[in-house]
Structure 1
Amino acid sequence: MIDETAEEIAGMQTHSSSEVAIKAARALKSVADREFPSVGDYKRSLERNSNALRRANPSHASLHNTQREIVRRVDETDTDTVGEAKQRTAEIIDEVIERVEQGKSAAASRLADLLGDRETLLTHDYSTTVLSAIETAVEDGGEYTVYVTESRPRYLGRKTARRLAETDGVETKLVVDSAAGSYLPECDRVLVGMTCIVDRTLHNRVGTYPLAATAADSGVPVLSVGSGAKLIEGGFRFENEHRAASEVMREPADGFEIENPAYDATPVELLDRIVTDKAVIDPASLG
């Protein structure tokens, strides 16, 4: 099951990093389905399989962090039998999954609290946390006009637009990525998710950097939202993914190359606030 899940995770390009982390954590439980002669053998197998899951998507810090935490906590657990180690693993995995889910929800609620009752927003790509924040704010009586960039080449913004269109209290407008600058002057703020923040750099879906730079030039604040676990202090090196050229252009590229990075890097100086489940952070305060 681990190999199949690792392959699936490698292809989960339309899912949030938190969803990927949860799927990997659940998959790690399958190690307990095997028989092991000793606790040490079980723990070594758990670590090997966890490493395989982490390698499946090296760009997702939440996947990296949750897998390392599970393995570390199990390794530190003093158990006499393999059965006890397996049971403790299941308990730790359930705790980690619950914390990830609660972190997403808490970050969304904190962002919703920052939104006014009547605002014009712009969002990029597909962030379940951003969507939850807007929906929560609507439930509290807010009404919003939301511009959504298509997020080419995978057009994940269309998925965002469809979901927002089903939300009463939201007027949704889909625009091509290159048109964002034309509508930013109408906006009160820009909302984006986060894959991770490492070394004062926000790594997020490609297109975030030019959007943040244009918003800064237009004087429109940019807020990035996500679980606090995505702010990395050390032990993680972000690796970008380069997607298939066919996503950009289906016909053959004769005489030229097609570059298709999945993520870009935005200096946190271009952000107004970073919103997590634990706090609203001034980017200037990050070390």
Structure 2
Amino acid sequence: MTERFIIPRSVEWNDTHITILNQQKLPSETEYLELKEISDIWDAIATLKVRGAPAIGITAAYGLALAAQRYKASSIDEFKQQLQKDRDYLASSRPTAVNLFWALNRLVSSIENATSVNEAKTTLIHEAIRIQVEDEDVCRRIGEHALSLFQDGDRILTICNAGSIATARYGTALAPFYLAKEKGIHLHVFASETRPVLQGARLTTWELMQAGIDVTLITDNMAAQTIHAKNITAIIVGADRIAANGDTANKIGTFGLALLAKSFGIPFYVAAPLSTIDLATKTGKDIPIEERNPEEVTHIAGTRIAPEGVNVYNPAFDVTPHELITAIITEKGIISGNYEAALPALFEGGETSETI
């Protein structure tokens, strides 16, 4: 019997604006923002009002389509030039999550054969909506595949927020927990707080509690003790970019969890859509790692916690080497082992065989 519960959404298209859930205000305030200008969309992505690789891609696609509706181009060629300029502007908002570039490039490609400005404007809206609809289906399929790896009563650790508010719906790493809830399977989630911006504490716990899912919050430096004391059976994380050899960029702290998983002999899973796989990036060494404002580290909720003038290193992501990843879970199925061969095969059509 399917159980009814709340699955929050983070991005919605309207004819004159985009509505987003302001993730900077959670969990103390549930605020929705109306974004009307392309500069608003850029700011929302850059300042983490919207975050999570798929949600960033969806928001950017809507932002580009929205901006294009106001072009006064006299020809389709002029229209395409303006679109490319706005595409490049939005692409500059964050450098690591490949979904951002994937979604923007998909919109630009969608009007390649357009013969009029009106046709191009309509096509862009339809393509952006299609990206969101497809992502919801993709996330559910990721969840179904991931759930096949877990058993009733499993205790699973995650980091950051790879959930419904980071995607169109369900999430990637959190998708199996929603589907388990639907099916009456009990999984206990342990959420790492995810310093410095606390996406695990503020967002993952909030959205899982909305759905009545059993979740326990820990600080980042409690991970090893938690795995040991609470009998953690697996770790599952999302991804912002997966290189051609399987090296995976995800929220800072993920690499450390992968090392712990190897030490404790438990599986370490990456859950991500095909749009996160970047075959043009050969290894993790080629993935650009965003470094953010030092105040994210020196301040908490606007209050300084470190001395004035202290040096700060604040990478937003780290790269987990492919050899530490037990399996990568996509909408096409589960792959492991030789990622360099298995990842390109995912793009050849059809479901892959589950190799776990």
Same fold (TM over 0.5): yes
Are 1:26 and 2:62 matched, yes or no? yes
Decide whether the 8 Å contact of 2:158 with 2:192 is kept in 1.
yes
Counterpart-to-counterpart distance in 2, 1:246 and 1:194 = 25
Q: Please, which of 92, 96, 103 is the counterpart of residue 59 of structure 1?
A: 96
Counterpart-to-counterpart distance in 1, 2:49 and 2:62 = 19
Q: Please, which of 175, 179, 188 is the counterpart of residue 218 of structure 2?
A: 175
Range moving further from structure 2, 231-240 or 185-194 = 231-240
Are 1:280 and 2:334 matched, yes or no? yes
Decide whether the 8 Å contact of 1:12 with 1:20 is kept in 2.
no
For residue 82 of structure 1, what is the aligned residue in structure 2? 117
Question: Offset of 1:7 from its aligned partner?
Answer: 2.1
Are 1:99 and 2:134 matched, yes or no? yes
Counterpart-to-counterpart distance in 2, 1:131 and 1:243 = 25
Decide whether the 8 Å contact of 2:58 with 2:128 is kept in 1.
no
Q: Please, which of 273, 295, 298 is the counterpart of residue 246 of structure 1?
A: 295
Question: Offset of 1:12 from its aligned partner?
Answer: 1.7
Q: Deviations over 1:210-242 (max 9, x none)?
A: 111111111010111111110110169632222
Decide whether the 8 Å contact of 2:45 with 2:51 is kept in 1.
no
State the secondary structure of the residue aligned to 2:174. helix
Question: Offset of 1:94 from its aligned partner?
Answer: 2.5
Decide whether the 8 Å contact of 2:281 with 2:287 is kept in 1.
no
**Over aligned residue pairs, what C-alpha RMSD do you find?**
2.0
For residue 225 of structure 1, what is the aligned residue in structure 2? 271
Calculate the TM-score normalised by the size of structure 1.
Answer: 0.91
Identical-pair percentage: 24
Q: Deviations over 1:15-59 (max 9, x none)?
A: 211111111111112212222110100111111111111111121
For residue 39 of structure 2, what is the aligned residue in structure 1? 3
Structure 1, gaps ≥5 residues long: none
For residue 208 of structure 2, what is the aligned residue in structure 1? 164
For residue 177 of structure 2, what is the aligned residue in structure 1? 134
Counterpart-to-counterpart distance in 1, 2:261 and 2:124 = 45
Counterpart-to-counterpart distance in 2, 1:252 and 1:216 = 33
State the secondary structure of the residue aligned to 1:203. strand
Counterpart-to-counterpart distance in 2, 1:78 and 1:256 = 54
Between Structure 1 and Structure 2, which shows a larger proportion of helix residues?
1
Range moving further from structure 2, 142-151 or 7-16 = 7-16
Structure 2, gaps ≥5 residues long: 1-36, 164-170, 299-303, 342-356
Question: Offset of 1:243 from its aligned partner?
Answer: 2.0
Are 1:202 and 2:248 matched, yes or no? yes
Calculate the TM-score normalised by the size of structure 2.
Answer: 0.74
Between Structure 1 and Structure 2, how many residues are aligned? 284
The AA in structure 1 aligned to 2:279 is E
